[in-house]
Amino acid sequence: MDAIDERMGISALSYPVPEHANRIAWTLGGITAVSFVVLLVTGIVLAQFYAPVPEVANQSIRDIENTVWAGSFIRGIHFWASQAMYVTAVLHMVRVFVTGSYKKPREGNWLVGVAMLGLVTFAVFTGTVLKWDQEGFEALGHNVEIGNLLGGVGLWFSPAFSDQIPILLRLYGAHVVIIPGLILVLLILHFLLVKRHGVSPHPSLPAGASGEQASAAEPTEPLTRHIRRLVTFGLALAGILGILAVLLPAPQGPSPVAGIEVTKLPWMFWWPFTLENWFGLSAIVWGEVVFFVILVIMPFVDRNSNRLWRRRPVAMISGLAVALAVIVLTVLMAITPTEMHL
Ligand code: HEM
So what's the pLDDT on residue 339? 74
Q: Which of 116, 130, 91, 119 has the alpha carbon at shortest distance from 250? A: 130
Is any ligand 1 atom within 6 A of the Cβ of residue 132? no
So what's the pLDDT on residue 114? 98
Strand partners of residue 18: 220
Is any ligand 1 atom within 6 A of the Cβ of residue 199? yes
Residues 140, 167 contacting (CB under 8 angstroms): yes
CA of 55 to the centre of ligand 1 (A): 40
Is any ligand 1 atom within 6 A of the Cβ of residue 200? yes
Is any ligand 1 atom within 6 A of the Cβ of residue 30? yes
Ligand 1 atom nearest residue 90's Cα: 27
Q: How far apart are CA 23 and CA 20, in angstroms?
A: 6
Is any ligand 1 atom within 6 A of the Cβ of residue 114? yes
Give the pLDDT confidence of 131-169 residue by residue, as tens digits.
999 999 999 998 888 888 888 778 888 888 888 899 999
Which residue among 31, 102, 190, 295 has the greatest number of ligand 1 atoms within 8 angstroms of its CB, and so is best to mutate? 190
pLDDT at 244 over 60: yes
Give the pLDDT confidence of 34-73 residue by residue, as tens digits.
999 999 999 999 999 999 999 999 999 999 999 999 999 9
So what's the pLDDT on residue 156? 86
Q: How far apart are CA 14 and CA 147, in angstroms?
A: 44
**187 CB-near residues (< 8 Å, 6+ apart):** 33, 36, 116
Give the pLDDT confidence of 198-243 residue by residue, as tens digits.
999 999 876 555 555 555 678 899 999 999 999 999 999 999 999 9
Q: In the chain, where are the structural domains located?
A: 17-259
Ligand 1 atom nearest residue 36's Cα: 5
Q: How far apart are CA 265 and CA 135, in angstroms?
A: 6
Instruction: Count Cα atoms within 13 angstroms, Cβ side, for 161.
Output: 19
Q: Please report, for residues 119, 150, 303, 326, the alpha-carbon distance to residue 292 in angstroms, rounded to integers and kept in the order given.
A: 12, 17, 19, 13
Residues 47, 221 contacting (CB under 8 angstroms): no
Is any ligand 1 atom within 6 A of the Cβ of residue 96? yes
Assigned fold of 17-259: Cytochrome Bc1 Complex; Chain C (1.20.810)
Give the pLDDT confidence of 192-210 residue by residue, as tens digits.
999 999 999 999 876 555 5
pTM: 0.93
Is any ligand 1 atom within 6 A of the Cβ of residue 121? no
Question: Of all helices (H) and strands (E), which one includes residue 18?
Answer: strand 17-18
The alpha carbon of residue 232 and the mean position of all alpha carbons in its chain are separated, in whole angstroms, by: 22
Q: What angle do CA 109, 40, 161 make, to 5 degrees?
A: 80
Q: 3-class SS at 146?
A: helix
So what's the pLDDT on residue 216? 63
pLDDT band for position 260 (cuts 50, 70, 90): confident
Q: How many helices (H) and strands (E) does the chain have?
A: 13, 2
Which residue among 17, 35, 92, 322 has the greatest number of ligand 1 atoms within 8 angstroms of its CB, and so is best to mutate? 92
Residues 108, 192 contacting (CB under 8 angstroms): no
So what's the pLDDT on residue 341? 66
Query: Three-state SS across 47-84?
Result: HCCCCCCCCCHHHHHHHHHHCCCCHHHHHHHHHHHHHH
Residues 35, 41 contacting (CB under 8 angstroms): no
pLDDT band for position 12 (cuts 50, 70, 90): very high
Give the pLDDT confidence of 262-318 residue by residue, as tens digits.
888 899 999 999 999 999 989 999 999 999 999 999 999 999 889 999 999 999 999
CA of 29 to the centre of ligand 1 (A): 5
Residue 44 is which amino acid? I
